[in-house]
Amino acid sequence: MSTSENRSNRFPEWLKVKAPKHGAYEEMAGFLQSLGLHTVCQSASCPNIGECFSKGTATFMILGDRCTRNCGFCGVHSDKPMPVDPDEPGRVAEAAARMGLKYVVVTSVTRDDLPDGGAEQFAKTIQGIVTKVPSAKVEVLIPDLNGDWGALQTILDAEPFVLNHNIETVPRLYDTVRSSANYDRSLRLIETAKQLKPSTYTKSGLMLGLGETKDEVVQTLRDLRAHRCDIITIGQYLRPSKVNLPVVEYVHPDMFDEYKIVAEGLGFSFVSSGPFVRSSYHADEAATQEH
C-alpha cells in the first residue's frame, strides 16, 4: 500500500507531525548556536527535529555543514567545504556534558577533500566525549571514506559503541540517489568494521519511497546481514526541498511492519522500522535494548 506524491500534495494521515513544545526548539537551537555546533537535524531538515529538540537530544554534525557530494535525497548544502576546526571536538564534548547525555550520536558531512575523509576528527570527537563524559556511549554515523580502511581503523581505534554507515537505498537506484557512492563499497565498509573491531556494533539505514520494489528491499537487507550488519533502521524518504528527488510513494506503516518481521527473521539484533524512523532517531534505544 502506498500513496504517490504526484497524486497529492498532502501527506497521508500517518505522516503528520505534532508541533514541538513552545520554546523548546528555540532554546535548543540557541544553545547549539552558542557553541558554534551544527546538527544533522537542522541541516538535513529532519521531520523529528521538534520532538528531539524538545527532549534535549540532537545528532551532532562535525566537519562543518558543507558537503563535497551532492546526493539527490539529501538536504545538506553542497559547496566548497570549510576548514577543519581543531576546537570542534571539544565543543561537542562540552555540549554533551552540559546536556547530560548518556548516549551521543555524531555524524558528518562527506569530506572527500580530506586525505582521511575526516577520520581523525571523528576519533578526536569520540575521545573528547568519553573524556568529558566517561559514562557516555558514542555512536558515529560515518561516510564511506572512499574505501580507505586505514581511516576506518582510525575511527574504530577511538572505540565508538556503534559504527553506523547508511546504505540508504537499493543498488538499482544508486546512480540517481547516491551518484558519488558505491553500493558494494558501503557493504564492504560495514563488514570491514566488524572484522577490524568485532566488539563494535555495526548499523545501517535504509530509506523507502524512492521507487524501490519489495524484492529489492528484502535483498538489500540480506546483503547487509551477509556483510555483518547488526542493527538496521528503515524509514520513509521525505523530500527536504524542491531541488531534491521527489517522493515516488508514501509507504504504508503496515509495509514497514512487514519489513521489520523480515529483518528480524534475517537475524538483525535490533530493527527499527516505521515512516518517521531515521538512523539517529531513538538511537540509544536501538543500541542498548538488546545489548
271: phi then psi, degrees, rounded to nearest 5 = -130, 125
Per-residue pLDDT of the chain (291 residues; tens, 9 = 90+): 555 444 344 778 888 666 555 555 566 666 676 766 765 444 444 444 444 444 445 688 899 888 887 776 675 667 788 899 999 999 999 988 988 888 889 999 889 999 999 999 999 999 999 999 999 999 999 999 999 999 999 999 999 999 999 999 999 999 999 888 999 999 999 999 999 999 999 999 999 999 999 999 999 999 999 999 999 999 999 887 787 889 999 999 999 999 999 999 999 999 999 998 877 655 566 555 544
162 in a domain, yes or no?
Answer: yes
CATH of the domain at 42: 3.20.20.70
pLDDT computed for residue 211 by the predictor: 96
SS3 47: coil
Predicted TM-score (pTM) of the model is 0.85
Residue 250 lies in a domain: yes
- E-strand spans in 25-72? 38-39, 59-62, 66-67
- What is the reported pLDDT for 42? 45
User: pLDDT value at position 280?
Assistant: 67
Q: Is residue 2 part of a domain?
A: no
Q: Which three cell numbers stand for residue 28?
A: 535548543
Q: Measuring CA to CA, which residue among 10, 97, 8 is closest to residue 56?
A: 97
- Note whether residue 5 is domain-resident: no
Asked whether residue 220 is assigned to any structural domain, the reply reads: yes
Q: For position 291, what pLDDT does the model report?
A: 47
Please give the Cα distance from 105 to 142 (Å, whole number).
11
- Is position 64 within any domain? yes
Residue 160 in domain: yes
Nearest Cα to 39, choosing from 47, 50, 29, 48?
29
Query: For residues 3 and 121, what is the distance between their CA atoms, to the nearest angstrom?
Result: 42
User: Could you tell me the residue range of the domain that residue 153 belongs to?
Assistant: 17-288
What does the DSSP assignment read for 199-257?
A: TSEEEEEEEE-SS--HHHHHHHHHHHHHTT--EEEEEE---SSTTSPPPS-EE-HHHHH
Q: Per the structure, how many domains does the chain have?
A: 1
Are the beta carbons of 250 and 55 closer than 8 angstroms? Answer: no
12 within domain boundaries: no
Q: Is the dihedral of CA 24, 26, 27, 29 positive or negative?
A: positive
